[in-house]
Structure 1
Amino acid sequence: MTTKVISYKSGQKTVSNTGAAIVLESGEKDGIKHTWSGRIDTSSRANFTWNIDWDNLKNQGVYRLVGHLIVSAVYDHWHPHRVDIDWTDTNHSVLAAIGNSPNSYAVTFEYNLTAHYTEPPPAENIDFGEMFVASDKTDMVLIVEGKKLNVNKSFLSIHSDYFSSLFSANFKEGRMKEIEIKEVSYEDFGLLLASFYPNPMFPNDHTVEKLLEMARRFQVLSVIGIVEYHLLHISRMGYEKMLWLADEYAMTKLLAKCISEMNSAEKAKKLKKTPEFQKLSVNTKSLILERLLKVI
């Protein structure tokens, strides 16, 4: 499992006895957005609220955030107040009521959080040369960035119209023993082949977008199906990115699931603010509207 520690410390802020809560600070650090508000209530206690959103991290493959938040009084009106955090949902409000001064407090806050990712991309740790070594079952060498991958033409042709055409006797490549595949990295191409041949490797949230891109380019529909299964049943990817992938790569089952989860005006407003919404097709936007008209 991959983790990343994300730490943040605010500057000094002042919360005063003004009645209504005021925003003390808004910021973002490594995919974590926060808005910090405060007020002093009628009991002279400082009331703080932190609205924390880590959707961006979830879209990067984070499924859990663990750690703590600490709010401190600069002049020691109270001992540093700690709030423990262990979240899998991406939007939270953290509350704290402390102190006993009727006028104002000079305050700071900090957090130390560990983001837990799904498994890292397999391409980082796999020796594709060893995986695609020559054997009595291979009859073609594909060369990518000067490196060789030994494959079976018939097997690749069954899975891909691209390879079926490439190996056809109607093309000069079909009569060659070695073929260079251009304009693709060795790691990306190896990742694609490894997902269905010779010993299939399962996708994860880090690799699905690259796999879909490669599967479309090399016309390997079975890989798109494998990725769709992962996104439907295993993935912890954020809703907005999953919806866009379903639309972009015509994964109909996943798209239907995502549309069915559009169940409130608040969720629709949140989606509309994301970069993924701007990339959705007109048809998918229409499906979202139809869904909202049914549930609102």
Structure 2
Amino acid sequence: MWGAAIEYKSGKCNMDSNTKVLESKSHKGIKCIWTGSIYYSFSKYNFKWKFYWDELKSQGVDKLTGHITVFSVNNECTAIKMNVELTENNQEFTKEFGYDCTTYDTFYYEYSLTPHYAPIIEKPSYEKMFAPSDQNDTILIVDGKKLHVNKTFLSYHSEFFRALFSSNFKEGQMDEIPIGDVSFKDFALLLSTFYPKPVFPSDESVEMILKLARRFLVSFAVISAEHHLMNNLKINIEKMLCLADEYGMSTLLEKCIRELNTMEKAKKLKQSETYDQLSAETKLKVYERLVDSS
């Protein structure tokens, strides 16, 4: 869900040889600090917009999308319109462009940003989800609580349960099967990704889902987690790269590597705590990406 676009027009600011704050203004819950500089050796202007929107976040907004248009008052530079997407981990926008003028120019900008509200997700009732039913034929005991499930359905989605319910294991002959070393909440969360009505992962649950999906060999849960992370805007790229590498999510891994398109991003990754956890193969892919981008 999204709200009405928030529009703003700045004052007119003169450019000179110094990098400086051109304007700092708040408007309808959005504060923007606009800075600018001139690179004479490259005949380029450089502008940066830093946005703060904590007030909107407190109202449920999780991102802003729209555009910024920068204008030359003297019309010595063509107006430039730029699409932007602002999230919790990406609140800056930078634009650099060439110029032909020989004198300092005066600029102003306009933005139109649409707030996007995070969906309100109702938490599932695991007690109801795994209550007794004619469709269920066995009971799992987790953390002292009973989950009524269907053997065939679980076996189809998990090699772990396929083996557990087979005649080769004593558990396959039991009416109630204990599952140890996992909390009821976390285990029910894993099962809920595919059974009986799928519940999608969230930023808070995705890492636990991946951990348990590996233990209980639930490939669909990994696919669901990868889909969430592919469309996620809050978890930083370093964390997503680490998860993609650890849990074999190849599509997410390639996306993360493509986004490492500047030396600044590469340095940030190398200085992060997660870098040393990456496999040698992924580190090589990161290096090759930087070579291609240089």
TM-score normalised by L of structure 1: 0.61
Amino acid at match of 1:232: M
- Larger relative CO (CA 8 A, sep 6+): 1 or 2? 1
Moved over 4 A (4+): 62-65, 116-122
Query: 2:183 — aligned with what?
Result: 185
Is 1:159 the counterpart of 2:157? The answer is: yes
User: What is the letter of the counterpart of residue 194 of structure 1?
Assistant: S
What SS is found at the alignment partner of 2:274? helix
Equivalent residue, structure 2, for 1:201 = 199
Q: Please give the alpha-carbon distance, in whole angstroms, between the structure 2 residues aligned to 1:215 and 1:235.
A: 23
Does 2:269 match 1:266?
Answer: no
Matching residue of 1:90: 90
Residues 145-202 of structure 1, C-alpha deviations (whole Å, 9 max, x = no match): 1100000001101110100111010111000010010000000000001110001111
3-state SS, counterpart of residue 133 of structure 1 = coil
CA distance in 2: counterparts of 1:275 and 1:121, whole angstroms? 32
Describe the SS at the equivalent of 1:180.
strand
1:223-242 residue pairs with structure 2 within 5 A? Answer: 223-242=221-240
What letter corresponds to residue 240 of structure 2 in structure 1? M
Shift of 1:236: 3.2
Report SS of the residue matched to 2:134: coil
Count of matched residue positions in the alignment of Structure 1 and Structure 2: 207
Q: Give, in angstroms, the shift of residue 224 of structure 1.
A: 0.3
- What is the CA distance between 1:282 and its match in structure 2? 1.0
* RMSD of aligned Cα (Å): 3.6
- 5+ residue gaps, structure 1, are 2-50, 54-61, 66-85, 94-115
Tell me which amino acid in the other structure corresponds to 1:172: K
Q: 1:158/1:237 Cα in 2 relative to 1: closer, same or farther (>3 Å)?
A: same
Percent same amino acid at aligned positions? 49
Deviation at 1:126, TM superposition (A): 3.1
Shift of 1:238: 1.3
Tell me which residue corresponds to 2:131: 133
* Structure 1 partner of 2:73: none
Task: Give the superposition deviation at 1:52.
Answer: 9.9
Query: Cα 1:117–1:215, aligned 2, differ >3 Å: closer, same or farther?
Result: farther
Query: In 1, distance between residues paired with 2:194 and 2:145?
Result: 20
Distance 1:235 1:194 in 2: 23
Q: Which amino acid is the alignment partner of residue 184 of structure 1?
A: V
- Work out the CA distance in 1 between the residues paired with 2:167 and 2:288: 50
Contact 1:205 1:237 in 2 (8 A): yes
Give the Å deviation of 1:92. Answer: 4.8
